[in-house]
Structure 1
C-alpha cells in the first residue's frame, strides 16, 4: 500500500507555511525514507520547489544532483533557480550538460542530464560528496533515466545506504514506482488555472501536420489571447510551419519562433523568454517544451498529438525515428502548458473518439532502444549481469544480446561482459560506443582531427541529405572549406560539436584537403559490420554482416569497389538503402577487424576438397591463397562430413553389385532380426561415413580428395567389409548369391527390394532334371523361379517346380516348340538332359 502525503494540505493546515517549513517537513520524510516519489499537476512549477526546500532544510551534507532529460531544460531550470536565489548560474546552482559546464566550488545543486550522471557513477561508484539524487520529469522514461536510476539504486543498496533518491513527475504511474522503491508518495497540488480542451472534427494526417497546425494557430490567434505554443513532431515540420506563418498576413504583429534541440542556447532562450508588453508570440516546438520549461505568457496550446520516437530494430541493429501518436499522459502534459498564468485553451488536432485509442502512458524507452551505450556503462560500472540490476522495467533479452554482440565486435567488452581497457576509454567519452571507438582508433593528430569532424557529421542532421551524393569525404571537405572561410552557415552546429570533440582529445582544427580513403579507414572502426564490397557495377554492395545494400548508380561513390556504410535505411525488403558512406582501401582495414581462417571444405560444384587460407572481415573475403600442407585428419573429417549431403555424387552407388549386396543383407536382416546385422542402406552409410570410409581414403601416402578418385573405390567390397566375418558367413549360408542348376551354371539369386521371396531367373532348358524348387535360408524358403525362354523372355513363374513339370510344362512346351523349333523340348523333362543352348531333336 502506497503511503500518500498531501503537501498542499500540510500547507493549508499550517496556515500557508513558508518554504523553509515545508522543506523541514520534506526533510523529515527523507530522513525516515531512502526514497520519495513526488507528483504535481502538469505545469505546476514544482521543478524548483523540491531542490530548494531540501537545500533550505539541510537533509544532507552532500550536494544535490537534479537530473533533467534535456539540455535546454537543465540550463533553463538552473537559471531559474539562480534567479530565485538572486545569484548567477554557477554559484549555489549550476548545470552540466554535454560539452558544457557551469559549476564552481560553491555549487550545491547541480542540474544535469542523465548521461552526465551515468558517467559520474562509472568514474566514482560511491558518488562521494552527493547526498540526494533527484530524477525530474521521470514520466518521460528515457533509457538514460532508467539506467541512471538503476545505477544509483545499486550504489544506494551496496555502497551508500545514506544516499537519498527522489523521483518527480507530473504524469506518472506513481503506484508502481512507489512499490518498486518502497517510497511514500508526496502529492503537490500546485496552483493551476483551468484549461478548456477543444477537439478537431477530423483526425490529423502526419503528412499534413505543418499545414493543419498553421490553420489552427491562425484561428487561435484571432479568437484567443496571449501567446501560443504549438507542438509539432520535429524540426522539419516546424520549419515548414514557420515558413507558412511568416508568409501569412493573419499574424500581423506576432513573432514566430522555433524551439527544438538543435537550436543554439541563445535561440532557445529567445523562444522561452516572456513576450514584451503589447506583443504576442507563437512558439513552434517539439516535445522539448512538454516539461520543465516554463514559457511565460502562453494561453493557448495547439497540439498535433504527434512526435518522433526513436525506434531500435534488433534485426538490423539500427535506430530510426518514427512519427507516432502521443499517449494520453503526454497530451495532458502538453495541455498543462496553457494554464500556468491564467485560464487557457488547448486545441487538440484529433477527434475525441481518436483519444480513446491512445495509450494511457508512454512506453519506457528501454523496451525498444539501442542498448549498446547502456550496456557499456554498466560494464564500466563493474557489473556483468545486466538482468540482475534493479530495473524499473527489464530490458528485452534479445536487445541486450544484440548490444553485447556489438560491444564485443568493437572490442569494448569480452565475451563474458567484462569491460576491456579500450571499453573503459570508450565509456569516458560522451558519445555512442561506435563514435568513441572511431575516435580512439585514430592513430595521429591529423586522423584524430578528422575523426572529430566525422563524429560531428554522424551525430547531426546531414546538411547535404538532398544532394544525391552519399560521399562522407565530400561532406567533410565542404565543412572544412566553410570553416576555413569563417562562414560555416548550415554547418555551424556540426562545426561546434567537432570543436568540442577536438577539445576532449586535445588536437587542433584541421582544414586541409581530405583523403577519402582515410575517412573510410576511420568509419570502419565505428561500423566494422558495414564494410562493403561491390557485387555488381550498378551500386549493389554486400556488407560484411552479409546484408545487401543499394546506392544510386549515379552516385560517384559507386566507382569504388570497397566502401564502409555509416548511415542506411533497412526497409521491409532484402536490400537496404545507403545514405552516408566512405571509400576504403581494403589494405587499410585495421588488422584487429580481420580474421584469418583456413577454409578447408568440400566444394560440391567442383566435386573435390578445396583448401584456402582466407583473410576475412565478417562474411567478406579480402585475400586468399591455397593451402599446401592440409592436415590429413581434418581433410578426412571434411570428406566424411560432405558424404552426408553429397554422398550420392561422391561414390559409385550405381554399381549393380552394390545394390544387390544391400538388398541381400536387408533380406537376411528381415528374416533374422536376432542376427542384428548392420544397416547398409545408402542413407545410413552416407550419414555414418566417418565410421567406415577413412580406411579407404589413403593410398600410397596420398589422400583421395575428389569424386573422381573416390568413384574408383570398390564400394560393394567396402560395404561387405563393414559386416563382421561371423555375420558374413551367416549371410552366405542363409542367402547365397548363386544357385547351381543341372547344367552346372551358377545362376544369381535376385533379392528384390520389398519382396518376401527371392527370385531365380533361369532358362527353362537348364532346369531339366531338377525335380524340386531350390531353397535358401538353410532350406526354409523356396525361391520364386522365373523360367525363361531360350531368348531370356519370362514364360512362367513358379515356387513349386515339381508341380510345374507335371502340369503347366506341357502347355508351355507347346508354345516354345512353335517359337523355338530348333530346340529340344522333351516329353519327360525330369529325365532329360539339361542344356544351355540348342540341342538336336532326338
Structure 2
C-alpha cells in the first residue's frame, strides 16, 4: 500500500479484495470519501506482478489528475509504474503496470486484442455514473473472460451501496463494502429560485460561502455558459475575501484544469466554478464549502430528428450526495443547495443511464463488429426500440450492414472499415467517402472532412453561424486542438509509409466544407421553403446565423426546441452538388397520401429530396388499392388517442387491456393459452392488415374511417379461447335485480362501471364482480332522470349509510317514484308508484 493509505477507509477492504481476486471477480461499494480510487489500484499492484492493471475512469481530466496523484504516491513521474492513456494522448512506458484510461479506450483495445494477453485486472471505477462506454466495456470484458481468458479478473467499483443490479451481471463476484469518510456537512437550503435569477443567486451564495469558511469553495453549475456568467458576476462584485476564481469543465486545457485542482501557490482562497466533472474521483484539496445549483446538462438523443441535444435538469439524489461530500473530505463543511428541502425529497434517486438516452449508432456498430447484437450482450439496461431502429437505419444508409434471408444482421466489409475509426460512424463514413471518391487525401474535400470530423466532436464550443467562418475565426488554442485531432484522422486515411500535410483550416473552400458535412448528415440537409427551413428528415428548422443567399444548407449541429430545430452551425450548399452526390435521394414518383385540408386521399406526381417536397402536381385518380394503402399509411401515423374508433371499439380495447393486466384465464384453451395482445401502442398491431385493407378500399374521406367494422376486425384478432374468455369473464352487460340487462363501461384505467337507476337495484346487497372474480364493478346509481347520484362498489353499506340523505332530497324532487325506507329488502322496479300499485 502507499505510505498514507491507512488514512482512507477503503484500505480496510484491501486484504479481502486481494484474496477474492485470486479466484473470482469482485465488486467494491464505497461511499464518497472512502478513497477507493486512490488506495485500491496501487494496493493491487502486488496481486498482479506479471500483468497490467487497467483502471477505467469516465473523464479525461480525472485520468490525468488521478495518474499524477498515484504516481506521486510512488515517488515517480507519470509514465513509469503509473501511466495513462486518453484519446490522442498517452504517457506510458515499458515499466507501466497501472494504466489509467478513459472508458472508450477499453472497447477499442479489446477489438484490436481480444485476448488482452498482458492484462490481469480491469477496474471499472465510478461505475454508478453508468456511462455507455462503461456498460459496453464491462459487457465485452465479460465475453473475453468467458471465451478467452478465464484468468482475467474484473473489479467494479461504485459509490452506491446498491449492488443488486451489478450482481445480476457478476453473480459469483465477491462484494466488499467500505465505510465512507466524511466529516459533518451542514446542509443549507435556499428555497426555490426562478431560472432567470439563478446566476445572481449562485454568485450571492458563493460570496456568502467565502466569508463563512477559511477553506476553498466549490461551486457546481450545469455548463460552461453558466460558469462564465457567474464568473463575470463575481469579478464585478467579488467576495470580501478576494478569492482567486478558477473554472473546471471538460473543454478546458490541461493547464487550466490542473490549476483548478492544485492548492493556490500564494495561499489565497479559491473559488472553483465546475460542472459535474468535479462530483467524483478528482482530488481537490481544501474544499470546505460547496454551493450547488442543483442543475446539470444531460445529452439526450432524439431518434426522430437524429439530433443529440443538451437538456438542463435537476440532478439526482445520488449526485446531490456526491456534491455535498466534497465539502467534508478534510474537516466539517457546509453545502448550500439552491433549492428547497421539499424539492430535495422529490429528486430522482439516480440519473437515467446514458445507454437509455443517447445515440447508440456507435454502440450498435461496435457490437456487430464484435460479432453479436445488443440484446445478447450482458448490459444492465437495453436501449429502446426507437434507439435501435434509428441506429440501424443510419447504418443501412451507409451500407454498413447486410441482412440475411433469415433476418441475421451482419457488418459488410465497409462496415468493418467504419468500425476501425475512433469516431461516430457518420464521421467515419464522411472521411472514407471523401478520400475514396477523390482518390487522395490531398483533395480539398478530404481535407475539409478531416477538420469537420474534429469540429463535430468539438462544436459545442463554437458560436452559432457559418462553419467556414467559425474555423477561420477560431483562436489559436482551438485551432491547435482541432488540428491535433484532424491529423490523427489523416494518419488513419493515409498510406502507412506517407506523412502528408494538413491544410490550414482558414484555407478550406466553403463548398468543400458544405459537402463534407452533407456526406456525414445528408438527412440534415436543409431547404428554404415557404418562409422556413425544412430538413431532409421532414422537420422544420430555424437558422440562427447570418442570412445566406443559398436555398440549401448542410447542417453540422442543431438543437431540438419543441417540434422545430434551431440550426447552430451550417454551410451553404448548392442544388448542383445535391444532384451530383445524392442523386439516389432525389425521387420523382406518384404519391397517394391523405390531404389534411380536404380530409381526403389525393394522388400527385411528387419530386422530393428525402422528406423535402420540391415539386408536386395533381395526377389521375388513384386506384382502390392505392387509396387503401394510403389510408393505412395515414392510420399508422395516428397516435392511439386520435385513432378513429367508435365507442364500442374503444370499449373492446379497454376490455382487452384489462384481460392482459389480469392475465385472464382461458378455460377453452386446448394447450398453452395464447398471450393477450398488447394494445397500448397501436391498434394496427392487433388487426389483420389484409382484412383492414379490404375495408379501407371503400373509404372516400376521413369521416368514413370511423364507420369501418372495427369491433369485428378486433374480435377476429383473438383466438376462440380468448373470445370465449372475454365474453364469459368480461361481459358487455349484466343482469340487474329487475331482470333487465344493463351495459358495463370499461375504463382505460381498468375500472368497470355499471350505470343503473337506483330503483333497479332495490332488494340487492350483492357485489357484482367480473374478471373471473378479480374486479369489483363500481355502481353509478342514477336518479329517475338518469343523472348520477352516487358511486359505490359496496351496495349494502350504501343502503345503510348515505342512501338515507339522498332519499330525503329525491322524495321531494321525484315524488312519483318509489323511495323505500329499507331499500335492501324492497322490490326492484322501473315503474312509478302509480304503476307499481296498479
Q: Please tell me the TM-score bracket, short chain as reference.
A: 0.5 to 0.7
CA distance in 2, matches of 1:87, 1:685: 80
Q: Structure 2: which 5+ residue stretches go unaligned? A: 495-499, 596-601, 632-692, 700-838
User: Does the CA-based 8 Å contact 2:606-2:613 persist in structure 1?
Assistant: no
Q: CA deviation at 1:643?
A: 7.4
Per the alignment, residue 187 of structure 1 pairs with 177
Structure 2 SS opposite 1:238: helix
In the alignment, what sits opposite 1:32? 23
Contact 1:476 1:514 in 2 (8 A): no
In 2, the alpha carbon distance for the partners of 1:263 and 1:53 equals 32
Where does 1:146-545 land on structure 2 (aligned, <5 Å)?
146-182=135-171, 183-189=173-179, 192-276=181-265, 278-383=267-372, 385-415=373-403, 416-443=408-435, 444=440, 445=442, 446-461=444-459, 465=463, 470-479=465-474, 488=476, 493-505=481-493, 507-511=500-504, 513-536=507-530, 538=531, 540-545=532-537
Q: Distance in 2 between matches of 1:346 and 1:688?
A: 69
What is the aligned counterpart of 1:550 among 542, 552, 555? 542
Whole-angstrom CA distance in 1 between matches of 2:560 and 2:10: 58
> How far apart, in 2, do the equivalents of 1:593 and 1:117 lie?
40
Measured in 2, the distance between the counterparts of 1:131 and 1:303 equals 40
Aligned position for 1:791? none
1:641 equivalent in alignment to 2:625: yes
Q: Which residue of 1 aligns with 2:561?
A: 571
Contact 2:62 2:281 in 1 (8 A): yes
The alignment's TM-score, normalised by the length of structure 2, stands at: 0.67
- From the superposition, tell whether residues 122 and 686 of structure 1 become closer, same or farther in structure 2 (CA, over 3 Å): closer
Aligned to 1:47, the other structure's residue is in SS state helix
Aligned-partner Cα distance in 1 for 2:150–2:90: 29
Shift of the alpha carbon at 1:50? 1.7
Q: State the SS of the aligned residue for 1:414.
A: strand
> Does the C-alpha gap of structure 1 residues 209 and 98 become closer, same or farther in structure 2, counting only changes over 3 Å?
farther
8 Å CA contact retained: 2:10, 2:34: no
Q: CA deviation at 1:82?
A: 1.0
Give matches, 1:626-637, under 5 Å: none
Query: 2: distance between equivalents of 1:86 and 1:434?
Result: 45
Aligned equivalent of 1:91: 80
Q: How far apart are the structure 2 equivalents of 1:340 and 1:362?
A: 24
Change over 3 Å in CA distance of 1:111–1:639 after alignment to 2: same
Write out per-residue CA displacement over residues 530-554 of structure 1, whole angstroms, 9 at most, x where no aligned residue.
2233324x4x2333222332336x8
What does residue 664 of structure 2 align with? none
Paired with 2:394 and 2:255, the residues of 1 have a C-alpha distance of 38
SS at match of 2:117: coil
Relative to 1, partners in 2 of residues 1:253 and 1:435: Cα closer, same or farther, differing over 3 Å? same
Instruction: Report the CA distance shift for 1:320/1:448 in structure 2 as closer, same or farther (over 3 A).
Output: same
* Conservation of the 8 A alpha-carbon contact between 1:197 and 1:348: no
1:743 corresponding residue in structure 2: none
> Shift of residue 570 of structure 1?
2.9
Q: Deviation per CA, 1:276-302: give whole Å up to 9, x if none.
A: 364211111111111110111111111
Q: CA deviation at 1:612?
A: 8.2
Please give the secondary structure, in 2, of the residue aligned with 1:154. Answer: helix
> TM-score scaled to structure 1, two decimals?
0.66
In the TM superposition, residue 500 of structure 1 has moved relative to its aligned partner by 4.5
| CA–CA separation in structure 1 for the residues paired with 2:463 and 2:33 | 38
The answer to whether the Cα contact below 8 Å between 2:543 and 2:567 also exists between their aligned partners in 1 is yes
C-alpha distance in structure 1 between counterparts of 2:346 and 2:10, whole Å: 44
Shift of 1:235: 0.7
CA contact (8 A) 1:204 1:304 kept: no
- Give me the whole-angstrom Cα distance separating, in 1, the residues matched to 2:127 and 2:108: 19
1:213/1:611 CA distance change after superposition, 3 Å: closer
Provide Cα deviations, 1:212-268, integer angstroms capped at 9, x if missing partner.
Answer: 121112111112121111111111111111112122242444211111111101110
RMSD of the TM alignment (CA)?
A: 3.8
- Relative to structure 1, the CA distance from residue 242 to residue 500 in structure 2 (aligned partners, 3 Å threshold; closer, same or farther) is farther
Correspondence 1:719-758 to 2 at 5 A: none
With over 3 angstroms needed to count, the CA separation of the structure-2 counterparts of 1:542 and 1:178, relative to structure 1, is same
Looking at structure 2, the residues matched to 328 and 196 of structure 1 have their Cα atoms a distance apart, in angstroms, of: 16
Tell me the CA shift for residue 563 of structure 1.
Answer: 2.3
In structure 1, the residue matched to 2:652 is none
CA contact (8 A) 1:463 1:491 kept: no
Partner of 1:790: none
**What is the CA-CA distance between 1:314 and the residue it aligns to?**
2.5
Displacement after TM superposition at 1:411 (Å): 2.9
Alignment of 1:63 with 2:52, yes or no, is: yes
Corresponding residue number in structure 2 for 1:662: none
Tell me, what secondary structure is at the counterpart of 1:578?
A: strand
Residues 438-462 of structure 1, C-alpha deviation per residue, up to 9 Å, x if partnerless? 2222223233321222223322245
Q: Verify the 8 A CA contact 1:171 1:333 in the aligned structure 2.
A: no
Question: CA–CA distance in 2 between the matches of 1:404 and 1:362?
Answer: 26
Quick one: distance in 1 between partners of 2:694 and 2:29? 71
CA distance in 2, matches of 1:345, 1:624: 66
- 1:643 to 1:464, Cα distance in 2 relative to 1, 3 A: closer
Relative to structure 1, the CA distance from residue 598 to residue 156 in structure 2 (aligned partners, 3 Å threshold; closer, same or farther) is: same
Aligned partner of 1:48 in structure 2 is 38
Report the alpha carbon displacement of residue 493 of structure 1 after superposing the two structures with TM: 4.3
| CA spacing shift, 1:41–1:422, aligned 2, 3 Å | same
Q: Is the 8 A contact 2:33 2:182 kept in 1?
A: no
Q: Which moved more, 1:501-510 or 1:434-443?
A: 501-510
1:7-53 C-alpha deviation (Å, 9 max, x unpaired): 9xxx99xx99997x9755422201232x2110222022210222212
Report SS of the residue matched to 1:147.
Answer: helix
Q: Which residue of 2 aligns with 1:837?
A: none
Secondary structure of the equivalent of 1:556? coil
Shift of 1:604: 12
Q: Distance in 1 between matches of 2:98 and 2:311?
A: 36
Deviation at 1:505, TM superposition (A): 4.2
Structure 1 pair 271/201, CA: closer, same or farther in 2 (3 Å)?
Answer: closer
| CA separation of 1:241 and 1:388: change in aligned 2, threshold 3 A | same
Q: Deviations over 1:304-349 (max 9, x none)?
A: 1111111122222221111111111111111111222222222222
Task: Say if 1:257 and 1:284, in contact at 8 Å, map to a contact too.
Answer: yes
